[in-house]
Chain A
């Protein structure tokens, strides 16, 4: 089928792709500031290594496994004809309906694959071998991210016409594919790695809170591309996603700081930065399907619930060092489930998505009954189960072969010096 190229949509998607790619270096600052001075370079390098590895494998085979025709080996898209992004550059090769060249769409989606695996690095701070991380990035992207993204977005089993849910699942920009996925993987890896030496006894004080604030700012800026770009067009739905991406993190800051004020006595800068990310995570799946009140509700609940959830690691004894579980898994679940309450698909031009047999329903608060909540919970549950099991298997294989963790001496001396031969500062301690 022939489509006309839409220059407005294409221009927006090119810009949005660049915005989303910037999130991963932003994440490097967000995470880097939270670790001790002796491991900041390793922390940041894990994000940059994700760009390097996923950037290549996405172009070579990842796009094909994700967006090729459904059914390859049961869980992938069929990459035949798409290796190296072959045949995507032709003039007539445009995305259906929006008139954007498929090469631009492939670049946009590459940035999602990159940041998802990078998010996991927050759970393994200070102690994962760099070679083990690199192998993990390759295997996890291939065996977890590509199949999940295919299932939800690539025409697979959790898409519009999913036979597993009563209505069409809604994951606009990656509540399940990106955040629940990364959060569950972080939990699995943290369990396999074990706790850092001194966890729960010694202080692991963030060494540079201005870096954390800078990182949160870059993430928010890039996230406008992430959410509003997920419409694949410069239209009013993109505008709604953009507005919701502004308001949800703002109210999430307030929610997080309210918890801190009551529980700890003082509102902190780390809390404000964390609130931004919690709000962004939760609004991600819902960005186009809720009205502004819904965005305020989701943002506030995400700020409060994530601020409370970060204490779980001390209660259960897993060292999710920088709270990938507390922010991304919990925030992702909050956003994904709250669609079942707040979805308002009647609001103007809010939502254009639907399958051939099914369509999404309004949330409980908007007269749609329980169906959409059941749908959302089903998809979240399937992603959690698949990702947890496969991540554990990948981690266990790496652990049994090249090893996951640096030695205790390396951990004490600082992973920067031993794994990279560098220190970030003159006297890193």
Chain B
């Protein structure tokens, strides 16, 4: 099993969720995140005083998938989240030892 984690532009969240659903993914976790990559932060001006905002808002999407689906899911996220501008984010895949479904106590693939 794999955990696919994506950091994307917040305004692409709905497109990515829809693409994952179309790809057959049953569940997804979305959280608000903040950070920077090559995009860096931006400046804001309040009553003439400039402030540099280093951490820009992002959405963090996490999906647990079977090994065989990891590639498809990653591509689905990339194509749905892409705007082509700097700051679009990143997707990474890491192996997962085990998964348990809390309601039934099932383990492994059955719990996905």
CB within 8 Å of B: which residues of A? 203, 205-206, 260, 263-266, 268, 270-271, 274, 307, 310-311, 314, 323
**CA distance in complex: A303, B69 (Å):** 61
Interface contact A205-B46, CB-CB below 8 Å: yes
19 new A-B contacts at CB < 8 Å, known A205-B44, A268-B45: A203-B51, A203-B52, A203-B53, A205-B51, A205-B53, A206-B46, A260-B48, A263-B48, A264-B45, A264-B50, A265-B45, A266-B45, A270-B47, A271-B47, A307-B48, A310-B47, A311-B48, A311-B49, A323-B47
Give the A-B pair count, Cβ closer than 8 A: 29
* B interface residues, how many (CB within 8 angstroms): 10
**Shortest CB distance A317–B (Å):** 14
Q: B48 — which chain A residues lie within 8 A by C-beta?
A: 260, 263-264, 307, 310-311
The majority secondary structure among interface residues of chain A is loop
Subset of 14 A-B contacts with CB under 8 Å: A203-B53, A205-B44, A205-B46, A205-B51, A260-B45, A260-B48, A266-B45, A268-B46, A270-B46, A270-B47, A271-B47, A310-B48, A311-B48, A323-B47
In the complex, the chain A residue whose C-beta lies closest to that of B51 is A203
**CA distance in complex: A271, B48 (Å):** 9
CB within 8 Å of A: which residues of B? 44-53
Most chain A Cβ neighbours within 10 Å, of B46, B47, B49: B47
Q: B44 — which chain A residues lie within 8 A by C-beta?
A: 205
In the complex, the chain B residue whose C-beta lies closest to that of A200 is B49
Q: Lowest 9 A-B CB distances belong to which pairs?
A: A203-B51, A264-B45, A310-B47, A311-B48, A270-B46, A205-B51, A310-B48, A206-B46, A270-B47
In the complex, the chain B residue whose C-beta lies closest to that of A326 is B47
Q: Which of A203, A265, A266, A274 contacts B47 (CB 8 A)?
A: A274
**CA distance in complex: A397, B43 (Å):** 42
In the complex, the chain B residue whose C-beta lies closest to that of A202 is B51
Q: A263 — which chain B residues lie within 8 A by C-beta?
A: 48
Q: A205 — which chain B residues lie within 8 A by C-beta?
A: 44, 46, 51, 53
In the complex, the chain B residue whose C-beta lies closest to that of A209 is B46
In the complex, the chain A residue whose C-beta lies closest to that of B45 is A264
**Shortest CB distance B51–A (Å):** 4
**CA distance in complex: A265, B42 (Å):** 14
Q: A203 — which chain B residues lie within 8 A by C-beta?
A: 51-53
